[in-house]
Amino acid sequence: MSTSLFSSTGVRAALAALKKDLIGEDGPQISTMRNYRFAIVAYDPRREFELRQHTVTLAQDLKAAGWVVHSVDLNRLLMSRLERELGDDLERLVEAERRLSTRSRERGLRLVTDKLARLVEGPDGLAGDIVAEIARFARDSPHETERTLVLIGRAGVLYPYFRVSALLRFLDGRTQGLPVVLLYPGAHQGETGLSFMGELEATHDYRPRIYS
């Protein structure tokens, strides 16, 4: 992972720019597209804990300004799904992956990816769990959607098994009209390109605005 891949501005500057665009007088301006309230904050994955500290500060600042902030933890959702779908087989899968990886990392990775793909991918996979959580939050919250922010974090748990771009594709149009921001561990390349963890080949068709 090369340091040169990542933005030199840092997570604090990226989140400050996001905050400014959220609380503008004309409402959230986090997207260049009308009626598309989705954005990405890209950050060096080695600064994960720094990011978490700054997002706590961001949430506090937004709440002080009358906003409601709801955090969606992808690690929690993924583990809940795997435990629900696999039960005791989850532990056996982890052990099988560990044994295979001692001989071939690629074989171990392929075993897990093939086994979990049907459980995690697609509109009814992990994306469906995110949609359901946002829907519950929107239903239970009495606050106006204009001043509610959903932060999706811990995306690193998907590496190296699944691409975040595939997840976002199935969230489009299903987030109750709420402003949604994905915290993305990876490198911002060009205007619309992102490389997951700075390791995978960059995908260059991201629609959301990218802060980095």
Which helix or strand (DSSP H or E) is residue 151 part of? strand 148-153
Note whether residue 94 is domain-resident: no
Note whether residue 84 is domain-resident: no
Note whether residue 68 is domain-resident: yes
Domain that holds residue 127: 3-77+109-167+179-211
Note whether residue 9 is domain-resident: yes
Q: What's the confidence (pLDDT) of residue 167? A: 84
| pLDDT profile of the chain (212 residues), mean per 10 | 58 91 79 76 92 94 91 93 84 76 74 78 92 90 76 90 82 87 91 84 78 90
Q: What's the confidence (pLDDT) of residue 9? A: 64
Note whether residue 70 is domain-resident: yes
Distance between CA 20 and CA 4 in Å, rounded? 27
How many domains, the chain?
1
Q: What's the confidence (pLDDT) of residue 6? A: 60
Half-sphere exposure of 33 (CA within 13 A, CB side): 13
Note whether residue 190 is domain-resident: yes
Distance between CA 154 and CA 197 in Å, rounded? 12
Note whether residue 93 is domain-resident: no
Q: What's the confidence (pLDDT) of residue 183? A: 96
The phi and psi torsions of 146 (rounded to 5 degrees) equal -65, -25
Distance between CA 211 and CA 43 in Å, rounded? 9
Note whether residue 174 is domain-resident: no
